[in-house]
Amino acid sequence: MSAEGLARIRFARSPLWEVTASVRVLKEPGKHPLHHAWRAEAQSRLDRGTTDLSLLFDLVPTPSKILPGFLAPVPAGQRPTLAEELADLRSVPEHSVRAMIESAVRTPSEPVRRLHADPARELSRLAEVIEAYWALAVEPWWPEMQDLLDQDVRHRGALLVEGGAARLFSELSPAVEWREDGLRVRHRYFEGTHVLDGRGLVLVPSTFIWPVVFSKLEPLWPSALRYPSRGIGALWAPKRPASLDALTAVIGRSRAVLLAELDAPRSTTELARRTRMSAGNASQHLTALRAAGLVAVQREGRYVLYSRTALGTGLLAGAG
């Protein structure tokens, strides 16, 4: 990893990668007990669906030694939408699609053979299949997943600021080790050396890949390292709603709910989505809570984040 490569480290989240990684969980449930609660509900939803998902599932071999790179191109921005990533998927060159299928799928099914024969047409079909899968198996949980991934990125960014690349990579995953000349990433099936080009390295937190990491090294995209996000164990745990009646009587329902949601630093946009308030309404209430000393504001890069103060935490605990 050169100095230029270090200077171009960035983070991104990828809804399309979460689709691909979640298919692995569905196909090998015994290897992913952490996601049992999600799998049970998602499989039930998929069983009630009407779209043939075989093309997507056939493209994700298990065990996943290699995944076809076009399934999840490296995001160009930090927070792409699924629609933006599917547009990138549709634009992958035909010869690249064929080469990736040949390297990743040992025994192609009939849907995969059709994709190999006519990538231009079948990539559009694949995008439609992914949209149907997303609506049933990922989208219902996506707001919580977004929050988790965004919090992970903010945490890792703070580590980079505090201790540089060595601190960042030392806490990324047990499979990742920082050395003076770059990274050592332990993979089960492969060994080799890869020199980063001037496009740097994209770090992508993921909900569904714990405990392993995935490297993406195709020349079509910047190099990427996908790693398990922090806090996954609590993601699917049933939420116990706080009893806010006593606090509501004092500060009002909306402000009590916002205070309860600040169990981690969050932006106005995140809080509005979690509480189903408008951003303007949430901002008004947060301003009032801040004036009362119940919440504090901090800036992390381009994010403005609210967090509970000790007074706010004590008030919430005493009321509930």
Alpha-carbon gap, residue 317 to 320, rounded angstroms: 5
What pLDDT is recorded for position 238? 62
pLDDT value of position 15: 96
- The model's confidence at residue 305, banded by pLDDT at 50, 70 and 90, is confident
Higher confidence at residue 270 or residue 113?
113
**What is the chain's mean pLDDT, rounded?**
89
CA distances from 227 to 90, 183, 276 (A): 25, 14, 30
| String of DSSP letters for the chain | --HHHHHT-EE---HHHHHHHHHHHHH-GGG-GGGHHHHHHHHHHHHH--S--HHHHHTS-SS-S---GGGSPPPSSSS--HHHHHHHHHTS-HHHHHHHHHHH-SS--HHHHHHHH-HHHHHHHHHHHHHHHHHHHTGGGHHHHHHHHHHHHHHHHHHHHHHHHHHHHHTT-TTEEEETTEEEE--SS--------TT-EEEEEESS-TT--EEE--TTS-EEEEEEPTTGGGTSSPP-----HHHHHHH-HHHHHHHHHTTS-B-HHHHHHHHT--HHHHHHHHHHHHHTTSEEEEEETTEEEEEE-HHHHHHHHHH-
The predicted structure's pLDDT at residue 315: 86
| Residues 6+ away with beta carbon under 8 Å from 166 | 178
pLDDT of 242 strictly over 60: no
CATH says 244-319 is which class?
mainly alpha
Convert the pLDDT of each residue in 116-153 to its tens digit.
999 999 999 999 999 999 999 999 999 889 888 988 99
Sketch the domain layout of the chain as residue ranges. Answer: 3-234, 244-319
Name the band, by pLDDT with cuts 50, 70 and 90, for residue 301: low
Query: Measuring CA to CA, how many Å separate 11 from each of 26, 41, 52, 232?
Result: 27, 30, 33, 18
Per residue in 39-61, pLDDT (tens digit) is 999 999 999 989 999 999 999 98
The pLDDT confidence band at residue 320, using thresholds 50, 70 and 90, is: low
pLDDT at 319 over 80: no
Q: How confident is the model at residue 241 (pLDDT cuts 50, 70, 90)?
A: low
pLDDT in tens, 202-231: 999 999 998 899 999 988 999 999 999 998
Report pLDDT for 300.
Answer: 67
pLDDT band at 5 (very low <50, low <70, confident <90, very high): confident
Angle at 257 between CA 254 and CA 261, to 5 degrees: 140
Phi, psi of 212 (to 5 degrees): -95, 175
**pLDDT of the residue at 240:** 54
The average pLDDT across 12-27 equals 96
Q: What is the pTM of this model?
A: 0.79
* 168-209 per-position pLDDT tens digit: 998 899 999 988 778 899 988 888 888 888 888 999 999 999
Q: Beta strands 295-300 and 303-308: pairing type? A: antiparallel
Main-chain phi, psi angles of 169, to 5 degrees: -75, -25
Residues 61, 104 contacting (CB under 8 angstroms): yes
User: What is the per-residue pLDDT across 73-103, written as a single tens digit (0 to 9) for each?
Assistant: 999 999 999 999 999 999 999 999 999 999 8
